[in-house]
Amino acid sequence: MDRLTKLFLGATVPTGGIVTRRALDNFLSGAVTPEFPGFTVQDATGSWEGETEPAWILTIVHNSKQQTLIDVHRIGLAYKATFRQGAVLIVSTVVDSVLV
């Protein structure tokens, strides 16, 4: 069994500004691609603490090994620290997947 994990990444920087696609791509290159060579990123709009903001949704299908789950959480923590976010939501569910 695999897992489908989504990380909800706010794009408003509390000290001002927005996480641009270029900044996100740089983050993904360093923090995500080395661990997960395949993933999907979607533009989104979210709400945090009553405020609407632009966001990104990072979706990864991966194995269920403990180390992999730790790697996913490290990505969330790294995004939170890099872009000074209050939180990163991580949602994960067990799925059957196959590459064809």
Domain ranges of the chain: 2-95
Mean residue pLDDT of the chain comes to: 94
Read off the pLDDT band of 99 (50, 70, 90): confident
pTM, entire model: 0.93
At residue 84, the pLDDT reads 96
Closest among 77, 98, 97 to 87, alpha carbons compared = 77
How many Å separate Cα 70 from the centre of its chain? 13
Whether the per-residue pLDDT at 74 is higher than 90: the answer is yes
Q: What is the mean pLDDT of residues 42-53?
A: 92
CATH number 1.20.1260.10 is the correct assignment for the domain at 2-95:
no
Model confidence over 21-32: pLDDT tens digits?
Answer: 999 999 999 999
Pairing of strands 51-63, 2-10: antiparallel
